[in-house]
């Protein structure tokens, strides 16, 4: 099932696919595809049962201070791995009012590292960082403050 992450465009060795700004497949150049669908054969009886693994190379990281709690990252995430929850501290807004702003929290077990959240953030408070090779899977689930 397509998540509109754009990885197919990034990793296609022949450049046969392009995406629109709305993360939809804009064009496929059939001549450039290495394995046309009609030549692919799958042995359904002998498919290996492999665990699903997330091989993302980078994950989104939040800088809490500039976050304005707009939830654009939540609204645009193709895997729904982001929730908004009350942040750890009150913020003083430009108007001088003090309020508690909700911050995004990521479920890195379902994040695909597509960086859509980074691209749509109006406050530039999200950026991508390489996943450390020190952990066995490189993936963690961050608890939201209300779950702790």
Q: What is the set of domains in the chain, with CATH numbers? A: 7-46 (no CATH), 58-130 (3.30.70.3270)
pLDDT tens for 45-73 read 766 665 555 567 889 999 988 888 889 99
Mean pLDDT, consecutive 10-residue stretches, the chain (148 aa), reads: 66 70 52 47 62 71 87 92 80 76 88 92 93 46 43
Distances (CA, A) of 1 to 5, 34, 51, 60, 117: 11, 20, 17, 22, 20
Single pTM value for the model: 0.52
Q: What is the phi/psi pair of residue 137, to 5°?
A: -110, -20
Question: CA 29, 33, 35 angle in degrees (round to 5)?
Answer: 150
Mean pLDDT computed over every residue of the chain: 71
pLDDT tens for 67-78 read 888 899 999 998
């Amino acid at each position: 099932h397509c998540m509109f992450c754009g990885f197919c465009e990034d990793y296609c060795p022949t450049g046969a696919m392009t995406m629109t700004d709305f993360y939809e497949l804009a064009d496929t150049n059939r001549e450039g595809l290495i394995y046309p669908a009609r030549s692919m054969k799958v042995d359904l009886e002998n498919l290996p049962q492999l665990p699903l693994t997330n091989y993302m190379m980078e994950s989104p990281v939040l800088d809490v201070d500039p976050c304005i709690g707009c939830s654009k990252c939540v609204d645009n995430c193709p895997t729904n791995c982001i929730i908004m929850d009350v942040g750890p501290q009150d913020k003083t807004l430009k108007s001088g009012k003090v309020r508690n702003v909700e911050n995004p929290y990521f479920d890195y077990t379902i994040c695909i590292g597509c960086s859509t959240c980074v691209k749509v953030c109006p406050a530039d408070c999200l950026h991508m960082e390489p996943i450390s090779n020190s952990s066995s899977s490189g993936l963690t689930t961050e608890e939201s403050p209300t779950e702790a």
